[in-house]
Amino acid sequence: MTQFDQLGLIDPIYRAVADKGYETPTPIQRQAIPKVLQRKDVLGIAQTGTGKTAAFSIPIIQLIHQIDGAPRHGKKLRALILTPTRELAIQIEENIRDYNRYTKLGHAVIFGGVKQGRQVEQLKRGVQILVATPGRLIDLMDQGIISLDDLKIFVLDEADRMLDMGFIHDIKRITKRLPSKRQTLFFSATMPDNILQLSQNLLHNPVRVEVETRSKPADHVRQLMYRTDKSKKIDLLQYILKEEQIETALIFTRTKYGADKLVRKLKKTDYRAAAIHGNKSQNQRQAALKGFKAGKIDLLIATDIAARGIDIKQLGHVINYNVPNISETYVHRIGRSGRAGESGTSITIVQGDEWPYIKDIEKLMKKRIELIKDHPYPQTEQTEVKETKKSSKPQAKGRNHGKKKSSHRWRSKKKVAQS
Ligand code: AMP
């Protein structure tokens, strides 16, 4: 198997990688690093958790080191890495700091939601590698603080998520200002038509490198699920945390409101919990993430967008407090446990009407999720209706039937109470 010393890395980078404790390159690193070093454009189909950050950061550092070294003065912006979320941007920069330990290039990260002052100060000191989210980058370019004229390498990271988040116009504005002679690295977890088209506009004769797609969760994630009633979910969650002896976990909820509500409930237990979602300020989000990474917070409750790019070493447990209605989201969520060769467990709590989503997820993965039946909060709600779903007519009939039944039950209870 190819090792890091066979990828053509220079000694200072090789040592920095060894310091990180990496022993073997991941498949995307094996494929991409030599190609980037050969100055080829790359179309990378890979999601977070595959080691893709190092796959582009490491050769970029090496190339810029070879072009410019690390001059004291007059540093030029040589590489721009554009990524959709602040958390991901921060994480990429943290990785670059580590891989750049001995090469000492100037690097910085910029993102919105905080005042620009400190970021501008850093930029003025000279930056060779810049990690940015689109909005703040455009802002600073418009103010004349950032110029892309000397750029040699452009990375578009998580292109599909960029488009999902509505960044297409921002991307177009930015790419228009890139030098036409450049190297471009384009990463996306999926490759629908609009992404393929965007990649074709940006890349020149790219080498395609592909690792696992979102329909394939990491094999080393043990997947469990529990069925229960909506009203019993919090009790079941607490039972599972105890029973599985979970000390720390990332818990997904569907809504920001749901995340806050769960934090309030969990705070009444022995667990230290915090939420991370779009309604929190950037500082609150950072504090929660930092606390979680440092072990000061046991349970981090997140919505999907906010959790994008969260990378925590040895994330043992991921819990779905709500089943996502998009199957790929499930695969993406559970991919956060058991990253880069570690093993992990995902636990999904399924309330009655979420069962059809499970069927869709299993179909996508071509794999069954292990159902744990033996627990004190089994499902009692009527849900056969949605289990025999798909054909819309019988489903509608079934659903009405279910409703009638429950309202009938309610009425008869009331009658009893009145009598
Ligand atoms: P990424 O997909 O870039 O978000 O990386 C996921 C995680 O894998 C990060 O914590 C990296 O530090 C880690 N990682 C990346 N490459 C390797 C490697 N070759 N060996 C072990 N861990 C790695």
Domain ranges of the chain: 4-210, 221-371
Mean pLDDT of 279-308: 85
Give dist(CA 254, CA 86) in Å, integer.
20
**376 token code pair:** 């004190």
Taking only the tens place, the pLDDT of each residue in 44-90 is: 998 777 889 999 999 999 999 999 988 888 899 999 999 998 888 99
Taking only the tens place, the pLDDT of each residue in 117-129 is: 999 999 999 999 9
Of all helices (H) and strands (E), which one includes residue 223? Answer: strand 221-228
Confidence of residue 164 (pLDDT cuts 50, 70, 90): confident
Amino acid at 39: R
Mean pLDDT of 271-278: 90
Computed over its alpha carbons, how large is the radius of gyration of the chain?
A: 24
Give dist(CA 36, CA 290) in Å, integer.
32
CA angle 199, 91, 136 (to 5 degrees): 65
Kindly state which CATH superfamily the domain 221-371 is placed in: P-loop containing nucleotide triphosphate hydrolases (3.40.50.300)
Residue nearest to atom 21 of ligand 1 (CA): 22
Buried b (16+ CB within 10 A) or exposed e, 132-157: bbbebbbebbeeeebebeebbbbbbb
Atom of ligand 1 nearest to the CA of 46: 2
Burial of 382 (0-12, 13-18, 19+ CB in 10 A): middle
**Which of 24-33, 131-140, 312-321, 342-351 reaches the highest mean pLDDT?**
131-140
Atom of ligand 1 nearest to the CA of 22: 20
Kindly list the distances between the CA atom of residue 331 and the CA atoms of 96, 209, 250, 334, in Å, as whole numbers in the listed order.
27, 21, 14, 5
Tell me the pTM. 0.66
Strands (E), 48-127: 79-82, 107-110
User: What pLDDT does 313 receive?
Assistant: 64
Give dist(CA 273, CA 13) in Å, integer.
38
Atom of ligand 1 nearest to the CA of 25: 19
Q: Is the pLDDT of residue 202 over 70?
A: yes
Q: Is the pLDDT of residue 9 over 50?
A: yes
Q: Is the pLDDT of residue 263 over 70?
A: yes
Residue nearest to atom 18 of ligand 1 (CA): 22
Strands (E), 94-173: 107-110, 129-132, 153-156
Cβ–Cβ < 8 Å for 249, 224 = no
The position carrying tokens 């329909």 is 215
Averaged confidence pLDDT in the chain: 86
Its sign, for the CA torsion 252, 50, 99, 136, is negative
Percent residues over pLDDT 90 in the chain: 60
* Ligand 1 centroid distance, CA of 313 (Å): 9
* Ligand 1 centroid distance, CA of 390 (Å): 40
Confidence of residue 182 (pLDDT cuts 50, 70, 90): very high
Atom of ligand 1 nearest to the CA of 26: 19
Q: Is the pLDDT of residue 264 over 70?
A: yes
Confidence of residue 28 (pLDDT cuts 50, 70, 90): very high
User: What pLDDT does 332 receive?
Assistant: 80
Atom of ligand 1 nearest to the CA of 4: 19
* Ligand 1 centroid distance, CA of 28 (Å): 10
Mean pLDDT of 24-32: 92
Q: Is the pLDDT of residue 230 over 70?
A: yes
Closest CA to 317 of 212, 224, 234: 224
User: What pLDDT does 77 receive?
Assistant: 98
Mean pLDDT of 349-359: 92
Residues with CB under 6 A from ligand 1: 22, 24-26, 29, 48-54, 311, 313, 339-340
Q: Do domains 4-210 and 221-371 have the same CATH topology?
A: yes
Phi and psi torsions of 36, nearest 5°:
-65, -40
Amino acid at 368: R
Ligand 1 mutation pick, 2, 26, 93, 161, max ligand atoms within 8 A of CB: 26
CATH of domain 4-210: 3.40.50.300
Q: Is the pLDDT of residue 339 over 70?
A: no
Percent residues over pLDDT 70 in the chain: 85
Kindly list the distances between the CA atom of residue 383 and the CA atoms of 217, 310, 325, in Å, as whole numbers in the listed order.
28, 35, 17
**230 token code pair:** 């909506």
